[in-house]
Structure 1
Amino acid sequence: MELDIVSLSRIQFALTAMYHFLFVPLTIGLSIIIAIMETVYVMTGRLIWRQMTKFWGTLFGINFVLGVATGIVMEFQFGMNWSYYSHYVGDIFGAPLAIEGLMAFFLEATFVGLFFFGWDKLSKVGHLAATWAVALGSNLSALWILIANGWMQYPVGSAFNPETMRMEVTDFAQVLLNPVAQAKFVHTVSAGYVTAAIFVLGVSAWYLLKGQHTDIAKRSIAIASSFGLAAALSVVVLGDESGYLSSEHQKMKLAAIEGMWETEPAPASFTVVGWPDQEARETHYAIHIPWVMGLIGTRSLDEEIPGIDQLVENAQDRIHSGIIAFDALQGIRQAGSDSAIVQEDRARFEEHGNNLGYALLLKRYVDDPRIATQEQIQQAAWDTVPMVAPLFWAFRIMVGLGFLFILLMATFFILSARRRYENHPWLLKIAVFSIPLPFLASEMGWFVAEFGRQPWIIEGVLPTAAAVSNLGIRTVLGTIAGFVAIYTILLIIEMKLMLRAIRKGPEPDDSPEAPLTTPRLSQRLIPSEQ
């Protein structure tokens, strides 16, 4: 990849986004877990659950602060590095981001203060409501961000206006109910739940290995393993839904993930492993499972999944159609008061306007797409193919880790029911060393989603190369270096604060209130071993 302004802008956004997403899944999942723990406390009155809520809430707070600090910068980057993108789709893309700030982030940030400082100022139920409000705000933030991102993957409820030269909303309900956005939301938050569950599981396992805070650790494992098992199973189911939607709306991404160069007879097989070779346009040493990809991608036995070669041919046809749309658009802008010419050009644009973005792919090779050669059109069509090997392996790492999480959670769910942790110290060590794995899986998931969309910043509408700001290479290189330095420092600070809080452990609860006299519910949840 050439280090031009487009590549550098992509690298900068990728770095800041992937740094930010180290904090997001844990925030989403841990907010739910601490709300569950406090609910048990309110229901049973047992102070150990309050102590647990405060301890895990402290870790949530550290992570929340760093997530906010790294997330705010990302929204400013749309204006700094992607100014034409902001101009072109700001009316659509900006709405979910504004709603996220007004509805979700302020809700979450407000009630975070009540969570930390309201223990002795609010009633039990009042404080519990504040805790659930924090959890709701965390998940609503993800919803609105993913509505915006889902529209970039599948731009529904919008149309290009030749008069303003911008994309505009035609049906905001379609933007909100975009099936791609909804599938991404439930899949992403479920992955966040798994991340938090394994984090709680790993830290608790470390306490058991050290023989410290064992009562809290065992109860935390009981919550994390049950919650995490349900979440890990849902990630697989919801991931299947995302794959099905990709076969409908992002066929090239799905073909690249599979390393599928030629269209196979239905139902297509799933490639377990292989070695994609983009130059040879072949996947070497591929091991296939018959029918599986066809069932996942089409949910049928008779529908084909087009291969990369066929999709490139389709892209060439769409580029030719897009050139007609581009010519009609120039005619509309130049016709002035000649209504007859405008009417003719508008009719042509309405017929071919959906392919205008494909004509813009030619801007990489020629200023005016109308004079592009057939060779340039073929090159632009092949530009619609993302780098196959990174997508192929990132997807398989993510899927492999997903099944590992199911196995891990199911194992600890059984151990929790039997209360036999001490008999399996090696499993406790596996849990500790598994803490980084869901973060890796989440990063791989985002890589597949975003890298697989290339060369589009908005699928089929606006190429990434046409969306950047007119900046100098030195300027972007300087900001990349600055962001990497600052974000690395923030990550080190968070790791040190987290480790310090974990080593310190839960603090004794100095609340004067006494537990309820009938703690039977908690005894059913975690039988006493004293």
Structure 2
Amino acid sequence: MFPELDLVILSRLQFALTAMYHFIFVPLTLGLSFLLAIMESVYVMTGREIWRRMTMFWGTLFGINFALGVATGIVMEFQFGMNWSYYSHYVGDIFGAPLAIEGLMAFFLEATFIGLFFFGWNRMSKLAHLVVTWLVALGTNLSALWILVANGWMQNPVGAVFNPDTMRMEMTDFLAVVFNPVAQAKFVHTVAAGYVSAAMFVAAISAWYLLRGRHLDIAKRSMAVATSFGLAASLSVVVLGDESGYLSTEHQKMKLAAIEAMWETEPPPASFNVVAWPDQEAWRNAFQVQIPWVMGLIGTRSISKEMPGINDLVASAQRRIENGMRAYAALERVRANPDDQVARAEFSANWQDLGYGLLLKRYREDVQNATPDEIEAAAFDTVPQVMPLFWTFRVMVALGFYFIGFFAFAFWLVSTGRIENSRRFLKIALWSIALPWVAIQCGWFVAEFGRQPWVIEGVLPTFYAVSGLSVLDLVISLLVFFVLYTTLAIVGFRLLLKAIRKGPEEPSGASADAPGVQADPAMLTAH
């Protein structure tokens, strides 16, 4: 058993490593693409050359970041076949569809128009180039949409059934997969978080220039765009995150209970644990500070619905495991005799709990003969680790409210013309540059770690989805990925720092803010 568990842990660790490295670059790509479109729109409407210089400067940073995102993202899709082969076999018909669309439509749209963005400045009209820039932003966000449709299906598997003849999940309703409420909520929440990241990135670099008295014309305008965009985005993140929490009440009750360290079912309206110290061995909180009603309002949108606790959810999981045993036994009979209609009818009545029956595979192969102790152990396996989920979620939420306060105050400073002289705030802005990424990584940790022990919620246990690799294979590949991705990150950060230190090219001749001024060709070719 232990080598198998080691294989699962290493497979999860490798995917987590590559995913978290990749998601260093994705949020900035999502947000900067729209900021570029906004800046170039101002240039086209006003004709002021400074807005073109701004677009080209931030576009250079966008290009570096985009290249690193592509390099780190391609490997992730190959891992489904390499490290998670049974997962790919089991749900490839559903999961593969949005990934294929992402590759064929969104990625190629994005890549094509990025080329036109960088090399079309002197070859296209202003309006045509602006259309290209907006298409870059659209393609970037479409790419995220299809990835999150795939991930949302893992959180809430809709529009699919298990076929006992092929031993696979098969899609029955593509539109249900695309318009899965969990996927749509994840998409808007994720892209809004990316907008916050880009706004903070632009604000922090602009603050650095203002503190050093460099490129003041571009820095002040960039700060104005970033603060207004960031304020709207940070407010959206909180609202959309609340919607994600509400959907978890419907589709991922155990995850929500673990996030809130809610061991017992809360009578309506449920209280919110502001701070607590979850003790998973004692199955209670060592201490907790609560706010009445808040969790009920967030989780149920009412004051009359109870919030199920971990203990009751474990009991519910135990009942579903018993149904899953019946489904597994019926499936075995169907495989032995495909014409056994009684077995097919019994399987059809219980197949939605087959995944719960597969949890018993950790304890024995003949699932249908599991003992009460094994059923109980499998039911307790449905509880994720509460402590890391509880505190990671609160770090994310605290940062979310910090961003609202930060951008609101920054917007006020910009609006009143005080931003350039507010050196203390500019230093805060500079040192806040990494905080959106901390919040985003916390969010992904909550989403993925909180789903355990499922790779697909209620359908396929994580330990059952891995490839039959050796532990040595995974250790070697994990080390290779770690070294390679760390090298890419260092190279990428050095390129970004070099471009930031150099700054935007200064105009020559007439005033940079005068309409209709032609840029120096040397400035254009430099980008």
How would you bin the TM-score normalised by the shorter chain? over 0.9
2:272–2:294 contact (8 Å) kept in structure 1: yes
2:328–2:354 contact (8 Å) kept in structure 1: yes
2:297–2:303 contact (8 Å) kept in structure 1: yes
- 1:258-407 correspondence runs (5 A): 258-336=260-338, 339=339, 342-407=340-405
Give deviations 1:228-250, integer Å, cap 9, x for gaps: 00000000000000000000000
The answer for unaligned runs of 5 or more in structure 2 is 518-527
- Decide which moves more: 65-74 or 343-352: 343-352
Q: Say whether 1:130 aligns with 2:132.
A: yes
Residue aligning to 1:524:
none
Distance 2:511 2:350 in 1: 71
Secondary structure of the residue aligned to 1:22 is: helix
Q: CA deviation at 1:284?
A: 1.9
Q: CA deviation at 1:509?
A: 4.8
Give deviations 1:410-450, integer Å, cap 9, x for gaps: 01100110111233211000000000000000000000000
- 1:206-245 correspondence runs (5 A): 206-245=208-247
1:255–1:308 contact (8 Å) kept in structure 2: yes
TM-score when normalising by structure 2: 0.96
1:44–1:516 contact (8 Å) kept in structure 2: no
Q: CA deviation at 1:193?
A: 0.2
Distance 2:514 2:56 in 1: 19
Q: 2:463 aligns with which of 455, 462, 465?
A: 465
Q: Say whether 1:490 aligns with 2:488.
A: yes
Residue aligning to 1:522:
none
2:220–2:420 contact (8 Å) kept in structure 1: no
Q: CA deviation at 1:96?
A: 0.1
Distance 2:372 2:229 in 1: 56
Q: CA deviation at 1:517?
A: 5.6
Secondary structure of the residue aligned to 1:332 is: helix
- 1:438-517 correspondence runs (5 A): 438-509=436-507
One-letter identity of the residue aligned with 2:476: G
Secondary structure of the residue aligned to 2:24 is: coil
- 1:90-239 correspondence runs (5 A): 90-239=92-241
Q: CA deviation at 1:156?
A: 0.3
Residue aligning to 2:523:
none
1:45–1:515 contact (8 Å) kept in structure 2: no
One-letter identity of the residue aligned with 2:74: I
Q: 2:65 aligns with which of 41, 44, 63?
A: 63
Q: 1:52 aligns with which of 30, 51, 54?
A: 54
Aligned in 2, Cα 1:401/1:126: closer, same or farther, shift over 3 Å?
same
Aligned residues: 515
1:91–1:167 contact (8 Å) kept in structure 2: yes
Give deviations 1:3-44, integer Å, cap 9, x for gaps: 610111000000100000000000000000011000000000
2:48–2:515 contact (8 Å) kept in structure 1: no
Secondary structure of the residue aligned to 1:272 is: strand
Distance 1:104 1:513 in 2: 40
Distance 1:264 1:186 in 2: 30
Q: CA deviation at 1:514?
A: 9.7
Distance 1:109 1:396 in 2: 37
Q: CA deviation at 1:512?
A: 10
Residue aligning to 2:258:
256
Give deviations 1:433-491, integer Å, cap 9, x for gaps: 00000000000000000000000000000000110000000000000000000000011
Aligned in 2, Cα 1:417/1:469: closer, same or farther, shift over 3 Å?
same
Distance 1:331 1:355 in 2: 17
Residue aligning to 1:528:
none
Aligned in 2, Cα 1:377/1:124: closer, same or farther, shift over 3 Å?
same
Aligned in 2, Cα 1:247/1:514: closer, same or farther, shift over 3 Å?
closer
Aligned in 2, Cα 1:335/1:411: closer, same or farther, shift over 3 Å?
same
Secondary structure of the residue aligned to 2:307 is: coil
Distance 1:492 1:282 in 2: 43
Secondary structure of the residue aligned to 1:460 is: coil
Distance 1:495 1:459 in 2: 36
Residue aligning to 1:41:
43
Give deviations 1:156-215, integer Å, cap 9, x for gaps: 000000010000011111001000000000000000000000000000001000000011
One-letter identity of the residue aligned with 2:63: G
Give deviations 1:70-104, integer Å, cap 9, x for gaps: 00000000000000000000000000000001110
2:91–2:169 contact (8 Å) kept in structure 1: yes
Residue aligning to 1:523:
none
Distance 1:389 1:373 in 2: 30
Q: CA deviation at 1:335?
A: 1.4
Q: CA deviation at 1:368?
A: 1.1
Q: CA RMSD in A?
A: 1.6
Q: CA deviation at 1:66?
A: 0.3
- Decide which moves more: 277-286 or 188-197: 277-286
One-letter identity of the residue aligned with 1:41: Y
Q: 1:430 aligns with which of 428, 439, 457?
A: 428
Secondary structure of the residue aligned to 1:4 is: helix
Distance 1:475 1:302 in 2: 53
Runs of 4+ in 1 over 3 A off after TM superposition: 509-519
TM-score when normalising by structure 1: 0.95
One-letter identity of the residue aligned with 1:453: R
Distance 2:438 2:24 in 1: 9
One-letter identity of the residue aligned with 2:138: L
Distance 1:515 1:126 in 2: 22
Distance 1:74 1:421 in 2: 42
Aligned in 2, Cα 1:366/1:232: closer, same or farther, shift over 3 Å?
same
Residue aligning to 1:76:
78
The answer for unaligned runs of 5 or more in structure 1 is 520-530
Residue aligning to 2:520:
none
Q: CA deviation at 1:492?
A: 0.5
Q: CA deviation at 1:346?
A: 1.0
Distance 1:166 1:512 in 2: 68
Q: CA deviation at 1:374?
A: 0.5
